[in-house]
Amino acid sequence: MENIALIESFSEFKDDKLIDRVTLMAILEDVFRNALKKKFGDDDNFDIIINPDKGDLEIWRNRIVVADGEVEEPNQEISLSEARKIEPDFEVGEDVSQEVKLIDLGRRSILALRQNLISKINEHDSTNIYKQFKDLIGEIYTAEVHHIRHRAIILLDDEGNEIILPKEKQIPSDFFRKGDNVRGVIESVELKGSKPAIILSRTAPSFLEKLFEQEIPEVFDGLITVKNVVRIPGEKAKVAVDSYDDRIDPVGACVGMKGSRIHGIVRELGNENIDVINYTNNLNLYITRALSPARVVSVKINEDAKRAEVMLKPEEVSKAIGRGGHNIRLAGQLTGYEIDVFREGVEEDVELSEFSDEIEGWIIEELAKVGLDTAKSVLEQDVDDLVKRTDLEEETINDVVRILKEEFE
């Protein structure tokens, strides 16, 4: 293969991969130098001249002329008689530059050159993609469903980049078909081998925060700040917002008239229930707002233990806990405090942990997960409702209820 034909075939990559001229030349020189090292053992005495735009390639080997029979380093030295075949007037001690044709490297080396070039360019391409998406971490990105697998959906963007949406990063109600456009945030980018693995997430709190930026102009403009976001994907979320302009109602601006502004976000998240609350530095008030829609009577805070004891009227307790314990769990995550619920006017009550000799520990833990940590808090619940809210069977719950009732009888 002639030099020009080879360079022309290499230059095709420049157009296909949109590689700039300087980068292509550097890659080409690196590839050729690797081939020269394999052929001659060293490449320090070679000059490589490349012009990919014109298809020019020249390789020159520089050697010192030595007397016949005194060549010790064939790659660095040339005998006087051999040198005079190139130019008849060469003398011992002079430098000789001799052009090396690609065909001198051998057919197998030329094939290896091309394969090595493809590998280097793909590696360069992967590095650029990695850097591009590394800068997009935390940003919303849209791509099209290309292939649906059991544990992940493979997406392709407009440039043909492969993006992975794992099953655990999908909202439980998500259902996509091939060709659908999917939105999420770029959560992570890793180089696996030479290929970047780009992970999209629809369950990350940052996805909800970025949706607020996209859908609510005051958030986009910085007039309203999203202070914190916590989510149980597809079920419930709480978003704390603040405004430094007293004329702006941050909650009202985010929700809109009759929920008009937040409706699109709720729909995108599979009808996830979103509570928007006013952020405040007043911790008691913040915890009170975080437990919305329940009405709190009082809050007692233990800052050292990061716990808050919240007093509510008995009829407000179920609202504070929420279905499946979602409301109280998210309120705790939003404020950073473990929240314990107490019923106003109920003086005589017993912690469930006091029944550990009669009720197995894992059952007590399961009830605590949904905010039921005292005897009366369990007895106030309907058995059927407890079956739905916990992983406990009806027979187990009936046994617990019987034990607790005996305590108060």
d(CA 186, CA 209): 13
Q: What residue ranges of the chain have pLDDT lower than 50?
A: 1-2, 4
The fraction of the chain above a pLDDT of 90, given in percent, is: 44
| 263 in the same domain as 220 | yes
| 188 in the same domain as 147 | yes
The gap between the terminal CA atoms of the chain, to the nearest Å, is 99
Of 102, 125, 148, which one is at a domain's C-terminal end? 125
Q: Residue 166, preceding bond cis, omega within 30 degrees? A: no
pLDDT for 29: 78
- Backbone phi, psi, residue 176, to 5°: -125, 150
d(CA 253, CA 397): 45
The fraction of the chain above a pLDDT of 70, given in percent, is: 87
Q: Is 264 a member of any domain?
A: yes
CATH number at residue 76: 3.30.1480
Q: Is 360 a member of any domain?
A: yes
| 305 in the same domain as 342 | yes
Q: Is 17 a member of any domain?
A: yes
Q: Which long-range contacts (CB under 8 A, 24 or more apart) does 63-72 make?
A: 63/95, 63/96, 63/98, 64/93, 64/94, 64/95, 64/96, 65/90, 65/91, 65/92, 65/93, 65/94, 65/95, 65/96, 66/92, 67/92
Q: CB of 203 within 8 A of CB of 171?
A: yes
Q: Global pTM?
A: 0.63
CATH number at residue 193: 2.40.50.140
Q: Is 331 a member of any domain?
A: yes
pLDDT for 187: 96
Query: Domain range holding 324?
Result: 280-346
Of 320, 346, 372, which one is at a domain's C-terminal end? 346
| 7 in the same domain as 111 | yes
pLDDT for 212: 96
Give Cα separations from 158 to 134, 141, 155, 163 (angstroms): 18, 11, 10, 11
pLDDT for 1: 41
CATH number at residue 355: 1.10.150
CB atoms within 10 A of CB 351: 12
* Closest C-alpha to 398, from 343, 353, 371, 359: 359
Q: CB of 380 within 8 A of CB of 316?
A: no
Give Cα separations from 323 to 265, 277, 329, 407 (angstroms): 21, 19, 11, 27
pLDDT for 347: 56
Q: Is 209 a member of any domain?
A: no
Torsion sign (Cα): 373, 378, 383, 385: negative
| 17 in the same domain as 116 | yes
pLDDT for 16: 52
CATH number at residue 328: 3.30.300.20
Indicate the residue type of 268.
E
pLDDT for 7: 53
pLDDT for 11: 54
| 155 in the same domain as 91 | no
What total of structural domains would you count in the chain? 5
| 329 in the same domain as 354 | no
Q: Is 211 a member of any domain?
A: no
d(CA 83, CA 64): 9
Q: Is 361 a member of any domain?
A: yes
| 121 in the same domain as 7 | yes
d(CA 93, CA 116): 37
Of 272, 288, 313, which one is at a domain's C-terminal end? 272
| 392 three-class SS | coil
Beta bridge partners of 312: 296, 343
Q: Is 298 a member of any domain?
A: yes
Q: CB of 239 within 8 A of CB of 212?
A: yes
| 9 three-class SS | helix
pLDDT for 8: 53
Beta bridge partners of 99: 60
| 147 in the same domain as 121 | no
- DSSP string for 100-132: --HHHH-HHHHHHHHHHHHHHHHHHHHHHHHHH
Q: What angle do CA 10, 38, 62 make, to 5 degrees?
A: 85
| 118 in the same domain as 11 | yes
* Closest C-alpha to 386, from 360, 359, 367, 362: 367
| 303 in the same domain as 221 | no
pLDDT mean across residues, the chain? 86
| 85 in the same domain as 25 | yes
Strands 95-99 and 56-66, by their bridges, are antiparallel
